[in-house]
Amino acid sequence: MTTTDASARALQLNDQGQLRHFLTIDGLDRELLTRILDTADSFIEVGERRIKKVPLLRGCTVVNLFFESSTRTRSTFELAAKRLSADVLNLDISTSATSKGESLSDTLLNLEAMASDMFVVRHSRSGAPHFIAQSVTPGVAIINAGDGRHAHPTQAMLDMLTIRQHKGGFEGLKVAIVGDILHSRVARSQIQALNVLGAEEVRLIAPSTLLPTDVESLGCTVAYDMRSGLKDIDVIIMLRLQRERMEGALLPSEREFYKVYGLNTEKLAYAKPDAIVMHPGPINRGVEIESAVADGPRSVILNQVTNGIAIRMAVMSMAMGGQRAQRGQDAEGQA
Strand order in the sheet with 221-223: 221-223, 201-205, 174-178, 235-238, 276-278
Q: In this predicted structure, which of 59-73, 222-236, 290-304 has the lowest mean pLDDT?
A: 59-73
Residue 88 pairs in a beta bridge with: 62
Phi, psi dihedral angles at 205 (to 5 degrees): -125, 115
Q: What percent of the chain has pLDDT over 70?
A: 92
Residue of 147, 157, 211 lying closest to 185 (CA atoms): 147
Mutual angle of helices 30-44 and 301-334, in 10-degree steps: 110
Binding residues: 72-73, 100, 122, 152, 155, 185, 240, 281-282
CA 304 and chain centroid, separation: 11
Give the pLDDT score at 205.
97
State yes or no: pLDDT of 152 exceeds 60. Answer: yes
CA angle in degrees (0–180, nearest 5) for 146-181-78: 20
Q: Which residue has the higher pLDDT, 324 or 244?
A: 324
Q: How confident is the model at residue 115 (pLDDT cuts 50, 70, 90)?
A: confident
Binding residues for L-aspartate: 100, 185, 240
Q: Give the C-alpha separation, 220 to 204, whole Å.
A: 7
Give the pLDDT score at 281.
86
Binding residues for carbamoyl phosphate: 72-73, 122, 152, 155, 281-282
Residue 89 pairs in a beta bridge with: 63
What domains can you pick out in the chain, each with its CATH number? 3-151+306-326 (3.40.50.1370), 153-300 (3.40.50.1370)
Give the pLDDT score at 16.
93
Neighbour count for residue 322 (Cβ, 10 Å): 22
Q: How confident is the model at residue 207 (pLDDT cuts 50, 70, 90)?
A: very high
pTM as predicted = 0.93
What pLDDT, in 10s, does the model give residues 227-280? 999 999 999 999 998 755 444 445 667 888 899 999 999 999 999 999 999 999
CA angle in degrees (0–180, nearest 5) for 171-35-45: 100
The end-to-end CA distance of the chain, in Å, is 35
What pLDDT, in 10s, does the model give residues 299-319? 999 999 999 999 999 999 999
**Average predicted confidence (pLDDT) for the chain:** 90
Q: Give the C-alpha separation, 252 to 129, whole Å.
A: 35
Beta strands in the chain (DSSP E): 61-66, 87-92, 118-123, 141-147, 174-178, 201-205, 221-223, 235-238, 276-278
**DSSP sequence for 197-231:** HTBSEEEEE--GGGS-TTGGGGS-EEESSHHHHTT
Q: Give the C-alpha separation, 193 to 60, whole Å.
A: 29
Measured CA to CA in angstroms, residue 90 lies from 23, 138, 155, 309 at distances of 20, 22, 20, 17
Give the pLDDT score at 175.
98
Most confident region among 46-50, 279-283, 312-316 by mean pLDDT: 312-316
